[in-house]
C-alpha cells in the first residue's frame, strides 16, 4: 500500500557538472516508472537547475532540495524560499537532518515551522529524526525520537501527516559504515508509527512512509526494505554513484 521511496541526499557534494554527469550515467532502468517505487535525488541548491536540465525527458526520478527557509522572502542572507523551490519544480525537501541539527543549530521548533511552510507550498517534506550513539547506549533512543517526532510535527492535521515522509536516521550509522540492523530499524519504525497513530490516528499513521537512513547501500538494502515498517531509504554516500543508486532502485523494485 505504501510505495517505496529511494531518496538520495547528496549533502555538500556534486556541483552542477557532476550532477549533469550523474544523470548522463544513470541507468535507464532506474529512471523508468516502476509501480510501487519512487526514486529521488536531493542535490545542493546550486546544482538543482543542472539536475532538472540533465534529467532525461520522461525520467521518473524526482528532484528535491536539502533545506528551505520558513519565511516567504526578505532579508535572510544565504537562505532559499519554498517559492524558489516551486519555481524549479522540486518535489521534496529534506528537513531536520541531524547535520543541520548539530552544525546549524536547528531544533524541533524551527523544523516544525519549515515543515508547515513546505506543506503549504506543496513540497513534500522528508522529516529526519534519530538518536546519537550516547542516547542509544543510555537506552534513551525511543524517548529522543518520540520527542523529535512530536516536536517536528506539532500542530499538523492528520491529512497533512499523510503528505509527509519521515526518515529515521540513527546518527551513529550516518557515514560510519555501521548500519542499524534490520531488527533495530524495524523496532524504531514500528515505534514511530505507533506514536503517530496515537497522535494522528491509525489511518494517517498507516499512510506515512518511514525511510531508514544510515549507511544504506546495495549490500544491505534488501534486508532493510524487507522490514514491514521500512518504506524506503534516505541514502547519503551510496546515492552519489549512479551504479549504486540504480542498484538500490532495482532492489526496491524487487520487493
Ligand atoms: P550515509 O548513507 O552516507 O550514511 O548518509 C545517510 C544520511 O545522512 C542520509 O540523509
pLDDT given for residue 155 in this prediction: 98
Q: Which atom of ligand 1 is nearest to the CA of 176?
A: 4
**CATH architecture for the domain at 4-253:** Alpha-Beta Barrel (3.20)
For ligand 1, the distance from its centroid to the CA atom of residue 110, given in whole angstroms, is 22
Closest CA to 97 of 190, 6, 4, 166: 166
Q: Evaluate whether 145 touches 131 at the Cβ level (below 8 Å).
A: yes
Q: Mean of the per-residue pLDDT values for the chain?
A: 97
Beta-strand pair 92-95/232-235: unpaired
Candidate list 69, 97, 141, 189, residue with the active-site label: 97
User: What is the per-residue pLDDT across 67-94, written as a single tens digit (0 to 9) for each?
Assistant: 999 999 999 999 999 999 999 999 999 9
pTM: 0.97
pLDDT > 90? residue 178: no
- The residue whose CA has the least distance to atom 7 of ligand 1 is 236
| Structure-block grid coordinates of residue 87 | 519555481
Residue-range domain boundaries for the chain: 4-253
Closest CA to 210 of 231, 184, 233, 183: 231
The percent of residues in the chain predicted with pLDDT above 70, rounded, is: 100
Q: Give the model's confidence band at 44: pLDDT under 50 very low, under 70 low, under 90 confident, else very high.
A: very high
Is residue 178 flagged as an active site residue?
no
pLDDT given for residue 145 in this prediction: 98
pLDDT given for residue 196 in this prediction: 98
User: What is the per-residue pLDDT across 186-226, written as a single tens digit (0 to 9) for each?
Assistant: 999 999 999 999 999 999 999 999 999 999 999 999 999 99
Closest CA to 128 of 89, 93, 176: 93
pLDDT > 90? residue 177: no
Spatial CB neighbours of 206, under 8 Å, sequence gap ≥ 6: 1, 2, 193, 197
Amino acid at each position: 500500500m505504501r510505495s517505496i521511496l529511494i531518496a538520495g541526499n547528496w549533502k555538500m557534494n556534486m556541483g552542477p557538472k557532476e550532477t549533469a554527469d550523474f544523470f548522463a550515467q544513470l541507468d535507464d532502468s532506474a529512471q523508468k516508472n516502476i509501480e510501487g517505487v519512487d526514486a529521488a535525488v536531493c542535490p545542493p541548491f546550486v546544482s538543482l537547475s543542472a539536475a532538472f536540465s540533465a534529467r532525461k525527458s520522461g525520467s521518473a526520478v524526482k528532484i528535491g532540495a536539502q533545506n528551505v527557509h520558513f519565511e516567504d522572502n526578505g532579508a535572510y542572507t544565504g537562505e532559499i524560499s519554498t517559492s524558489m523551490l516551486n519555481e524549479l519544480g522540486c518535489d521534496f525537501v529534506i528537513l531536520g537532518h541531524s547535520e543541520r541539527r548539530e552544525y546549524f543549530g536547528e531544533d524541533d521548533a524551527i523544523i516544525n515551522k519549515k515543515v508547515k511552510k513546505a506543506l503549504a507550498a506543496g513540497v513534500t517534506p522528508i522529516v529526519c529524526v534519530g538518536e546519537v550513539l550516547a542516547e542509544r547506549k543510555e537506552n534513551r533512543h525511543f524517548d529522543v525520537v518520540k520527542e523529535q517526532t512530536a516536536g517536528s510535527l506539532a500542530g499538523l492535521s492528520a491529512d497533512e501527516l499523510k503528505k509527509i515522509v519521515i526518515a529515521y536516521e540513527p546518527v551513529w550509522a550516518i557515514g560510519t559504515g555501521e548500519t542499524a540492523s534490520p531488527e533495530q530499524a524495524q523496532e524504531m519504525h514500528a515505534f514511530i508509527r505507533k506514536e503517530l497513530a496515537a497522535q494522528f490516528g491509525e489511518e494517517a499513521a498507516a499512510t506515512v512512509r518511514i525511510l531508514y537512513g544510515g549507511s544504506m547501500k546495495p549490500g544491505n538494502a534488501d534486508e532493510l526494505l524487507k522490514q514491514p515498517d521500512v518504506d524506503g531509504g534516505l541514502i547519503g554516500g551510496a546515492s552519489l554513484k549512479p551504479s549504486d543508486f540504480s542498484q538500490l532502485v532495482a532492489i526496491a523494485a524487487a520487493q
